[in-house]
Structures are given as C-alpha cells and as structure tokens.
Amino acid sequence: MLDKIRPVHAFALACLALALGVAVGLGLGDLDNQFRESGIVTYTSAALLALTAAMSLRIGRLRRAGAGWSWRDPRIVWLAIGLGFVWLALDDLAQIHENLDRLLHRLAGIEETPLTDRLDDLIILAYGLIGAGVMWACRSELRRFPQMLGWLGIGAALLVLQVALDMLLNDASWVMSLGISARPDLAHDLGEIAEESIKLLAEAAFLSAFIKARRGLAG
C-alpha cells in the first residue's frame, strides 16, 4: 500500500482535512476548535506524520535488503528519521510539547506570560533544528535521492512560516496593529486556521519528499 502513495495523495489528504474542518466547524458553530488539538486537523496531521515515518522505515528496509547491520549501514539513517516522525505524530496526538510547556511553568513556579507562553513554540523550533541537524549529518546518504531535496526544502520553509505565525498569535497586540480591533477574536481564530493549514501543507511536502525517495529507489 505504501508503494502506491503519490505526492498528490498527500496534498489531497491535507486539503480534504482542511475542507472537512471548515465544513464541520461551520456546521457546529465551532470553526476554530476543528483546527485546534483533538480536532480533524490534528488527527490528519498525525496520520501524515505516521505515513512519513512508515515511508522512511520502508526505504530503510529496501536500502540494503539482506545485508548485515553495522554502524555505517545506511538503514540507520532511515530508521532514525522514521523514529523522529513517529515522535512527532505522538506529540500531535498527546500534545507533548504543550504539556511540557505547562509542566516547566509549574516546576519553575511562574505564571504564564506572553513571553513564557512562547516556550512551546521554541520546543517546536527545536524539533525542526534537531531534524535539520540529523539530515545534515546524514547528507551523504540523502544526496543519493536528489528528487526528494526540493520537497524537503518546501516543507522546511513552510515549517518556519508556521512557527513564525504561531509565535505571532501568542501576542494579541498584532491584531491591533492590523486595525482589526472590532473582532480580535475572529482575527485570532483565522490566524490559527492559517497556521494549522500551513502545518498540514508542510507535512504533506515532507511526505512527498519520502515518496519521491522511495520511487527513486525503485527506479
């Protein structure tokens, strides 16, 4: 089944989830909740991340089928990347970085402020930096699959945009600066919807990168 997935399927899943989120949200009168934790978008995000993990592990199994394991084995690269995406999928479902943010506030005995509320954004940024570091360390293996690099770049750019928007949403003053003081709640909700939409598209781009690598390996 994994071998039949194409990039168009990844983006179709992301767009379908966004459309369903809007439709269900409008129908129930809670549009913003469908784009928050435990909504349609969250489960779709976890599914995209899980598919990316499965695709990476699949590439690892095929990379040197039948060969013995060693520390220089290229399968180690794909295993590490796959486990990283498994962690991200679990983070989405269990809200790990949000709960870690709250736990650190409690342990430090401090009240949440607009500045400290950005801690979870920094955790997400750290995830991205760790992922970039792993891929840089494994660049000799990844260069064997040039067809995936463009999609990785698109995904990384969208991820940076999503984190930047998330950090902006933690500061209500940005709404006033845009002159939308009459409906700041609506502006904030629309901002969250935009953020989650960018996140899904980034994940679809990452999945597309691994799909391309898998197809390149088959070729």
Q: Residue ranges per domain, the chain? A: 2-218
Outline where the chain has alpha helix (H). Answer: 7-28, 40-63, 75-94, 96-108, 119-137, 139-142, 149-169, 173-177, 184-218
What residues contact 128, with CB distance under 8 A and at least 6 apart? 156, 159, 160, 163
Whether 43 shows a pLDDT value over 60: the answer reads: yes
Distance of alpha carbon 128 from alpha carbon 167, whole angstroms: 15
Predicted local confidence at residue 182, as pLDDT: 47
Count, in order, helices (H) and strands (E) of the chain. Answer: 9, 0
Query: Confidence band (pLDDT; 50, 70, 90) for 194?
Result: confident
The CA distances from residue 114 to 9, 15, 70, 119, 121, in Å, are 38, 32, 48, 10, 12
Predicted local confidence at residue 123, as pLDDT: 73
Distance of alpha carbon 21 from alpha carbon 39, whole angstroms: 8
When the pLDDT of each residue in the chain is averaged and rounded to a whole number, the result is 79
Query: Confidence band (pLDDT; 50, 70, 90) for 117?
Result: low
Half-sphere CA count of 162, side-chain side, radius 13 A: 19
Q: What mean pLDDT comes out for the span 61-70? A: 66
Q: What mean pLDDT comes out for the span 68-75? A: 66
Q: What mean pLDDT comes out for the span 10-23? A: 90
Whole-structure pTM value: 0.83
Give the phi and the psi of residue 28 in degrees, each rounded to 5.
-95, -10
Q: Which helix (H) or strand (E) holds 178?
A: none
Whether 120 shows a pLDDT value over 70: the answer reads: no
The CA distances from residue 125 to 6, 152, 207, in Å, are 28, 16, 19
Question: Is the distance from CB of 55 to CB of 89 less than 8 angstroms?
Answer: no
The CA distances from residue 10 to 7, 16, 50, in Å, are 5, 10, 12
Predicted local confidence at residue 126, as pLDDT: 81
Tokens of 145: 């699959």
Whether 59 shows a pLDDT value over 70: the answer reads: yes
Whether 205 shows a pLDDT value over 90: the answer reads: yes
Cα-only R_g, the chain: 19
Whether 186 shows a pLDDT value over 70: the answer reads: no
Predicted local confidence at residue 23, as pLDDT: 86
Least confident of 29-33, 127-131, 162-166, 215-219: 29-33
Query: Confidence band (pLDDT; 50, 70, 90) for 130?
Result: confident
Which is higher by pLDDT, 141 or 106? Answer: 141
Q: Which residue has the tokens 């997935």?
A: 5
Question: Is the distance from CB of 44 to CB of 10 less than 8 angstroms?
Answer: no
Predicted local confidence at residue 26, as pLDDT: 78
C-alpha dihedral (204, 210, 215, 219), degrees to nearest 10: 150
